[in-house]
Amino acid sequence: MPLSLAKMRRQYTLDGLDETRTPDDPMVLFGLWMEQARDTESPPVEANSMALATVDEQGRPHCRVLLLKGFDKDGFTFFGNYASDKGQDLATNPWAAMTFFWPGLERQVRVEGQVHKLDPGLSDAYFTSRPLASRLGAWASPQSRVLDDRAALEALLAQTERRFINQPVPRPEHWGGYCLRPERLEFWQGRADRLHDRLDYRLQDGTWQRSRLAP
């Protein structure tokens, strides 16, 4: 029997989002929501997973799921291959958007802003903390490039393992961190009958301005 997506519907039942009881700083609210997501979401959902959208030089959008690796007053941190498709997009157009979705909490957060590369020292520190297999993979994979087959990738990994046998695996120059500095965050809380709560924070002259948006 064909799957009827039109009939798939969920009723949202958790508490709403009251702007009179939320922090003036959206990064504080994001931290609270991330902590709650970490404590309540269960595998296979990863609380720090996010969709990252970029735009290429032809104005075409591209979106993929990544893992957030840190956040503070300066922004949201993630890592990847600078030569990948997303790396090329960001080199051409630094504007990007993130979306976090936590179904257990009936919440999502949208983030928009400009992206810049992290200081090399910070990228080195994170790279060193990764498991050995992940460090080797960063060297072996020509991310986003066409491969003949799986065997070609495994051959590249074997070659990399031989290259670094019995020696440290440094961070490759083509791999490192990014930070998205937010200029807008929207907090979405599911509500009954699709009358969802949406609180929109926008950075204006260095100050966050908060508004409620219609669902």
Tens digit of each residue's pLDDT (9 = 90 or more) over 97-116: 999 999 999 999 999 999 99
Residues 21 and 69: their CA atoms lie apart, in Å, by 28
Task: Flag whether 6 is in a domain.
Answer: no
Q: Which domain holds residue 115?
A: 12-129+173-213
Question: How many Cβ atoms are within 10 Å of 204's Cβ, its own excluded?
Answer: 9
Residue 118 in any domain: the answer is yes
| Any domain includes 105 | yes
On whether residue 136 sits in a domain, the answer given is no
| CATH number of the domain encompassing residue 191 | 2.30.110.10
pLDDT of residue 1 exceeding 60 = no
Average pLDDT, the chain: 93
Within a domain: 138: no
Residues placed in the known binding site for substrate: 69, 126, 130, 134, 194-196
Residue 149 lies in a domain: no
pLDDT of residue 156: 95
Residue 179 per-residue DSSP state: E
3-state secondary structure of 61: strand
Say if 58 falls within a structural domain: yes
Identify whether 161 is part of a domain. Answer: no
Q: Name the domain count of the chain.
A: 1
C-alpha–C-alpha distance, residues 75 and 29, integer Å: 13
Q: What residues are designated binding site?
A: 64-69, 86, 108, 126, 130, 134, 143-144, 188, 194-196, 198
Percent of the chain with pLDDT over 70: 99
pTM of the model: 0.91
Residue 149 has pLDDT above 60, yes or no: yes
Residue 158 CB coordination number (10 Å) = 12
Dist CA 22 CA 138 (whole Å): 40
Binding residue ranges for FMN:
64-69, 86, 108, 143-144, 188, 198
Confidence of residue 6 (pLDDT cuts 50, 70, 90): confident
Residue range 153-175: mean pLDDT, rounded: 95
